[in-house]
Structure 1
Amino acid sequence: MTEILQIPKLITVFGGSGFIGRHVVRALAMRGYRIRVGCRRPDLAGHLQPLGNAGQIQPVQANVRVRWSVDRAVEGADHVVNLVGILDEGGRQKFPVVHDFGARAVAEAARAIGAGFTHVSALGADEHSPSSYARTKAAGERAVRETLADATILRPSIVFGPEDQFFNRFANMARFSPALPLIGGGNTKFQPVYVDDVAEAVARAVEGSIEHGKTYELGGPNVMTFRQCMEEMLEVIGRRRLLVPVPWWLAGLQGSVLGMLPGKLLTSDQVTLLKSDNVVSAEAAHEGRTFASLGITPQSTGTILPSYLWRYRTAGQFTRNIVA
Structure 2
Amino acid sequence: MNKKVTAADVAAHVGVSRSAVSRAFTAGASVHPKKRAKILAAAKELSYQPNFFARTLSTPVSRQRSNLVAILISDFSNPYQSYLFEQLSTALQQSGKQPMLLNVKQAEDMDAAILRLSGYQVDGVIAVMGSLPATSFNQCLKLSLPLVTLGRADERGLIPSVQTDNLTAGRLAAQHFVSQGLTELGFVAGRADGQASLERYQGFKEALTEHGIPAPLLLEAGRYTYAAGYALAARELTSLRQLAGVFCASDALAMGLMDCCRGHADLAIPKQLKVIGCDDVPQAAWQGYQLSTVAQPVEQMVAQVLLLLQRMWDGDQRICSMNRLAPSLIIRQT
Q: Give TM-score, length-normalised by structure 1.
A: 0.36
Q: Which has the larger radius of gyration?
A: 2
Relative contact order (alpha carbons < 8 A, sep ≥ 6): 1 or 2 greater? 1
